[in-house]
Structure 1
Amino acid sequence: MKYLFLLLVVLVVIWALKRGRAVNTSAPTQAKQAPKPSEMVTCAHCGIHLPHEEAVTGQKGLYCSTEHRTDAQDRNPG
């Protein structure tokens, strides 16, 4: 009975060590980086906020669409 209990303790320790290693290896080595927030701009016609990459450029400012640039009687710079 004493040996059976000792064997059970050894098996539990081995199981715990293997489980601990499996958790450590499955964790990512580098933390995922959050995407950088983009610069927000305001449409010169309607005032909506939008990312700078999506803005339409005019001579008088930035717009959310070409229709708003046209409505503001602005032209494409360049």
Structure 2
Amino acid sequence: MKYLLLLLLLALAFFMLGARRGRPREPEARDDRPAPPARPRAMLRCAECGMHLPADEALPGKGGVFCSAAHRSSFEAR
């Protein structure tokens, strides 16, 4: 009889743990909202190749802005 009672208690414990795990979270506790889109960034055009790149990544030079140091040096060499 005591084994039957022990088995019943274990089954009840597993049932309670499984029911708690399968239950959806509270709506206010869930954060399924998508992340806000990234803000647009100012784009500049490379004076050597014409590629557009973000302003914070552009390299300034004598003839404008450049996408790389190689393009800046080749443009300034001419």
TM over 0.5: same fold? yes
Question: Which portions of structure 1, spanning 4 or more consecutive aligned residues, are displaced by more than 6 angstroms?
Answer: none
Percent same amino acid at aligned positions?
A: 35
Paired positions, count: 55
Separation in structure 2 between the aligned mates of residue 70 and residue 59 of structure 1, nearest angstrom: 10
- What is the TM-score when the length of structure 1 is the normalising length? 0.55
TM-score by length of 2: 0.55
Mapped contact 2:63–2:76 kept (Cα < 8 A): no
Q: How do 1:1-78 and structure 2 match up within 5 A?
A: 22=26, 24-28=27-31, 32-73=35-76
- 5+ long unaligned stretches in structure 2: 1-22
User: CA-atom RMSD, angstroms?
Assistant: 2.6
Structure 1 residues not aligned, in runs of 5+: 1-18
